[in-house]
Amino acid sequence: MAKCNIENKIRILRFHAGEMTQQELADKTGVSRQTIMAIEQGKYSPTLELAFRIARVFDTPVGEVFFYRND
């Protein structure tokens, strides 16, 4: 697989949201728990729409959730 340069802070944001579970986030964004897990582990880069939906759950700008890492 090509190395994914998009990283995210979903795990931290879930913690700050009262230890929100992956399943809760999945239900709020309309995807499966496996997809949330894959995003957190950097195994899948979400579409722009899903990225915005995730950011909206945490009431934060999308740039605060996802960021591009320059190697």
| Residues in touch with another protein (CB under 8 A) | 1, 4, 30-32, 34-35, 38, 41-44, 46-47, 50
Cβ proximity to another protein: between 16 and 23 the closer is: 23
What is the closest distance, in whole angstroms, from the C-beta atom of residue 51 to another protein in the complex?
A: 11
Cβ proximity to another protein: between 30 and 61 the closer is: 30
CA 16, CA 3: separation in Å to the nearest integer?
Answer: 28
